[in-house]
Homo-oligomer: A and B are copies of this chain.
C-alpha cells in the first residue's frame, strides 16, 4: 500500500509520501514516491506516484528523458503551465497503457497508477492536480485543498478538521505528518521513511525536502504530543446525561419490536 498526500494552501504546497511498496505482505520494499523538478527562479514541479511500480517508474523515466529535450510537449522544464505539466503526466500514462495495457489484461493485473502533480511556474499561481490511470486529471479547489492517493481513509479526519486555505505552511506540514501518523498506526503496509516537501508560494524553489525516518526526533515528538493531547481532550469530554443502570426507566427507547424482551419465567 501507499499513502501520498498533496496539499495546497494560500501559503504554498506540502507533499508527503511514504516509501513502502508491496506485492503482498511477503514482498515489501522501499521506493521513493516523491519526485522533485526544480529550476530555481522559474519553476518547481513535484510528482507523487501511487499504484503499480512498473507503470509509475516508466512514467517517471519518460519525464526524466523529456527534461533532456527542449520540447515543451515532453519536458517539465519547458511546459508553459502547471496544467500542461499535469497533461504531460497523463499523456505518458497513456503511452504506457497503449504499450502495456493488453499484457496487464492478459495476466489479470489491474492497470493501476495515479499521480499528484503540483508546483508553480512563473506567471501562474501555484497549482495542484490529481492524475488518474486513464490519463485524465482534476485540479484542487478552495473547498477541496488536498489530494490523497492509496490508503486515504485513516488519515483523512485530521485533514478535514484542520485544513483551510488560510492555514500556514508549517501548520500544513504538521497536519500532513499527523495524518501520516494516524495512517501508519492503522495500516502496517504504510511505513516511514516519509518524504516531505514544502514549497512556499512565489519562491520558485523548494523550501525544504526532508526524509523523515522512523526514529526522527521531531516526528516522534509531534506524534507523542498529538497522542497525549488527544487522550487529554478525550479525558475531559463531557459525560452523557443518560441515566444508567436504572432498569426500564433508563431506556428512553422501547426495546426493538423484532427481537423483544421475552417474558420472564
A210 to B256, CA, bound (A): 12
A101 at the interface (CB under 8 A from B): no
Nearest CB on B from A60, distance (A): 5
What class of interface size applies to chain A in its complex with B? 35 or more
What chain B residues lie within 8 Å of A61 (beta carbons)?
A: 258
A259 within 8 A of B: yes
Interface residues of A in 247-264 (CB under 8 A from B): 247, 250-253, 255-256, 258-262, 264
A153 nearest CB neighbor, chain B only: B153
Q: Which residue of B lies closest to A78 (CB)?
A: B262
A242 nearest CB across to chain B (Å): 5
Residues of chain A whose beta carbon lies under 8 Å from any beta carbon of chain B: 32, 34-42, 47, 60-61, 63-64, 67, 76-77, 153-154, 156-158, 160-162, 169-171, 173-175, 178, 182, 185-186, 195, 198, 200, 203, 205-211, 218, 221-222, 225-227, 229-234, 236-245, 247, 250-253, 255-256, 258-262, 264
23 A-B contact pairs sorted by A residue (CB < 8 Å): A35-B258, A35-B259, A36-B256, A37-B261, A37-B262, A39-B264, A40-B261, A60-B258, A67-B262, A157-B182, A160-B186, A161-B185, A161-B234, A174-B237, A203-B245, A207-B245, A208-B250, A209-B255, A221-B238, A225-B233, A226-B237, A229-B236, A230-B230
Instruction: Identify 13 new A-B residue pairs, CB closer than 8 A, beyond the known A36-B259, A229-B233.
Output: A36-B256, A38-B255, A40-B261, A153-B154, A153-B186, A170-B240, A205-B247, A207-B245, A208-B243, A211-B253, A221-B238, A225-B238, A229-B236
